[in-house]
Amino acid sequence: MMQEKEWKALSDRYIAGTYARADALFVRGQGSLLYDMEGKRYIDLCSGIGVNIFGAADPVWVRAVTEQAALLQHVSNLYYTEPQTLLARALCQKTGMDRVFFCNSGAEANECAIKTARKYASDRYGPERNVIITLKNSFHGRTVTTISATGQEVFHKDFGPFTGGFVYVEPGDQGELRRLAEEYPVCAIMAEMVLGEGGVQALPQSFVDEMMKLAREKDILIIDDEVQTGNGRTGRYFCCENYGLKPDIISTAKGLGGGLPIGATLFGEKTKDVLTPGTHGSTFGGNPVCAAGALSIVERVDEALLAGVEERGRYLRQELEGAPGVLSVSGMGLMAGIETKGPAPEIVKACLGRGVVLLTAKEKLRLLPPLNIPMELLKEATAILKEEIARASS
C-alpha cells in the first residue's frame, strides 16, 4: 500500500503546480472533524474555504445528493428540472431576490453578474456605459475578466491583455468612489461586504451608504459578491443584510453547494429580465445533483442556525481579542481574520501539526469553520490556536 509521502510525491508529479499545498492528505471526515491516512484527527476551522458549511459527510446532504444521483445525474438546461426549480425558489424566498442563474463556481457567478450589469446599461443607455468600480484588495475569481475585476496588482500580470472597463477604489474612501462615479461612464459598483481573500476586512457602513446613494442618483447597479460571505457565514443569509443593503445582483458559490460545485447569480427587480434566451448559459449550471444538495443546505440556513453562527462568532472574538500575540480580530459571524504578532504561516503549520486546520488571508490568520461546529470542538481548537499564536509571538 502507498504511504502518505508517496501519494504526495505522485500528486506533485502529475497535478499542475498551481497550489502551495500544506503537508496533509485527508481521506475522510465527519462533521467538523477530518482524518488523514494514518487516522490522525483534525478539527476543521476552514471547511474547504467556507464550502462545507455543514461539515464533512453531513447526513442530510449525503442523502439528498445520493438520492438525486440515483434518479438522474444530469440533464441539459434546455429542459426543466425539479431540484433547480426548488433551489431557485428557496433562494429567492430567503433573500427577497427575484430570479437566479445557476453556474458552477464563484468566478462564473461573477462573470454572469458583470455581463448582466453591462447589458442592463447597454440596453438603457448604450454600450459606452460599461465601467465597473471595484475595490482595491478585492477578490472576484481567476478568469481573465474576474482577475481584471479583482483590485490587486499581483493578479494583473502574465495573462494580459485583460478585460477593460474596471476602475478601483480604496475600501472606505467615499470621496474617491464618488469621483470615479462622476468621471467614468459607470454601470455598476461591485464589492464584497467583507473582503475575504483581501484580509477579512468589513466595509464601513458609511461607504456602503455612499454606494447606495450613488446607485439611486445615477441608476448604477450594485453587485454584491457573496461568494465567501453568503449562505449564513456572517450571521445573516447574505452579509448585505447586516448593512441594510438590497443589491441589484448578488453572486454566491462556496457554501451554497455544501461541498459540490455550484454558483448562483441572483437578480433583483431591476435586473431580473436582463438576460434573455441565448445571452448566457452553462452546461452544468444547476446540475440536478448539485442543486439537490444545495437545496438541502439552503433550507437549513434558518434563524436557529444563524443565531448559532452569531454565538460561535462572539465566542471566538471573546477568546481571541487581547489574547497574547493577537494584534486585532476582524470579520463577522464565523468569518474571522486574526492579525498576529508572529508570522501567520508558521502558526498555521504548527496548528496543523496539532490537529487544527486553518487558513490565512494576506498576513492574517483566517477562520471559516463549519457553521454548525459543535461548541466543544470550537473550544478545543481555540485553546490550541491561542497557544500557538502566543508561542509564535515570543
Ligand X SMILES: *Cc1c(COP(=O)(O)O)cnc(C)c1O
| Residue 326 or 368 having the CB closest to ligand X | 368
Calculate the dihedral angle through the C-alpha atoms of 349, 351, 352, 354, rounding to the nearest 10 degrees: 130
| Residue 129 or 233 having the CB closest to ligand X | 233
Minimum distance of ligand X from residue 300's CB (angstroms): 21
| Residue 85 or 282 having the CB closest to ligand X | 282
Residue 43 burial (10 A CB sphere; 0-12, 13-18, 19+): buried
Count of C-beta atoms within a 10 Å radius of residue 7: 13
- Strand segments, DSSP code E, in 193-282 are 194-195, 201-202, 221-225, 249-252, 263-267
Binding footprint of ligand X on the chain (CB under 6 A): 105-107, 110, 139-141, 192, 196-197, 225, 227-228, 253-254
Minimum distance of ligand X from residue 10's CB (angstroms): 25
| Residue 106 or 258 having the CB closest to ligand X | 106
Residue 338 is classified by DSSP as: E
Minimum distance of ligand X from residue 379's CB (angstroms): 27
C-alpha span between 201 and 171 (Å, rounded): 9
Minimum distance of ligand X from residue 115's CB (angstroms): 15
Q: Could you give the C-alpha distances from 252 to 22, 168, 226, 237, 334, in angstroms and in order?
A: 26, 21, 5, 11, 17
- Read off the C-alpha cell for 352: 496543523
C-alpha span between 40 and 277 (Å, rounded): 51
- The residue of the chain with the least Cβ separation from ligand X equals 106
| Residue 228 or 271 having the CB closest to ligand X | 228
Minimum distance of ligand X from residue 150's CB (angstroms): 8
| Residue 253 or 292 having the CB closest to ligand X | 253
| Residue 141 or 171 having the CB closest to ligand X | 141
| Residue 140 or 246 having the CB closest to ligand X | 140
Q: Tell whether omega for the bond before 83 is within 30 degrees of 0, i.e. cis.
A: no
Minimum distance of ligand X from residue 290's CB (angstroms): 13
Minimum distance of ligand X from residue 226's CB (angstroms): 8
C-alpha span between 275 and 238 (Å, rounded): 23
Positive or negative torsion for Cα 348, 328, 140, 56: positive
Q: Is 166 left (phi over 0), alpha (psi -120 to 50) or beta?
A: beta
Minimum distance of ligand X from residue 113's CB (angstroms): 10
**Is the Cβ–Cβ distance between 268 and 100 less than 8 Å?**
no
C-alpha span between 148 and 158 (Å, rounded): 12
